């Protein structure tokens, strides 16, 4: 019994390599600067509270969640969650991550438009991805290029989501670094250290976007096969 090799998988290889590199980069960079204690001895949760209060966001709660680098801000509940590796740590890396999440809280409070677009795309992305696969499969079974193409277009909502996410994350990091420096939360060469951590984290979002675009391109190639079979 022979094995079938789908040549369209080749287009995913560069994206996979980038994703693996990005994950290695963020883990290694965070690990490196997680051993460097900031000169003021502030923990991630303390820095988060300072930044939130300085922006008048007294109603945003700070919560402790399990895991490493699982930090996030939920605009619906106004809860900023810091992971085990951030909440009680006084490392430069932890402070940088905490400040980044505060950046999202400030984005929400100031009506940063791309953040609202990203939030609106969440349900659309979920539905588009699921329905897209179904329509693509039906289009392939019945050799219907238009139907298969509609499926690919619906699936591409995930790429649009990643394209919007990237500037949102970069903006949050820029806000974080500016605050850490202007409010003297980090001193001297600690800011460049935090910047390296956030740049490494941003690379994961670049990789996610590239992966989504590569997958959409691959599905377009698959959909086009229905035209050749007709």
Report the catalytic residues: 101
Q: What are phi and psi of 70, to 5 degrees?
A: -100, 20
Alpha-carbon distance 30 to 200, whole Å? 8
The CA-based diameter of the chain, rounded to the nearest angstrom, is 69
Angle between helical axes of 190-229 and 13-33 (0-180°, round to 10):
160
Task: Give the chain's count of helices (H) and strands (E).
Answer: 8, 3
Q: For residue 57, give every residue at least 6 positions away whose Cβ sits within 8 Å of its Cβ, in sequence order, or none.
A: 105, 106, 109
CA dist., res. 66 & res. 86, Å (int): 10
């Amino acid at each position: 019994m022979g094995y079938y090799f789908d040549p369209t998988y080749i287009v995913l290889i560069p994206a996979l390599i980038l994703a693996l590199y990005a994950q290695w980069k963020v883990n290694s960079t965070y690990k490196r600067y997680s051993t460097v204690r900031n000169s003021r001895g502030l923990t991630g949760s303390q820095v988060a509270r300072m930044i939130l209060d300085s922006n008048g966001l007294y109603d945003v709660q700070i919560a402790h969640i399990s895991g490493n680098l699982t930090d996030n801000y939920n605009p619906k509940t106004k809860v900023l969650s810091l992971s085990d590796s951030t909440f009680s740590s006084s490392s430069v890396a932890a402070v940088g991550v905490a400040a980044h999440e505060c950046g999202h809280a400030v984005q929400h409070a100031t009506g940063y438009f791309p953040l609202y677009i990203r939030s609106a795309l969440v349900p659309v992305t979920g539905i588009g991805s699921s329905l897209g696969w179904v329509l693509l499969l039906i289009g392939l079974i019945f050799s219907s290029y238009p139907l298969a193409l509609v499926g690919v277009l619906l699936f591409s909502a995930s790429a649009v989501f990643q394209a919007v996410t990237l500037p949102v994350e970069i903006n949050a990091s820029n806000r974080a670094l500016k605050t850490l420096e202007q409010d003297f939360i980090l001193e001297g060469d600690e800011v460049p250290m935090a910047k390296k951590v956030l740049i490494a984290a941003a690379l994961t979002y670049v990789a996610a976007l590239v992966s989504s675009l590569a997958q959409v391109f691959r599905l377009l190639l698959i959909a086009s096969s229905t035209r050749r079979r007709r």
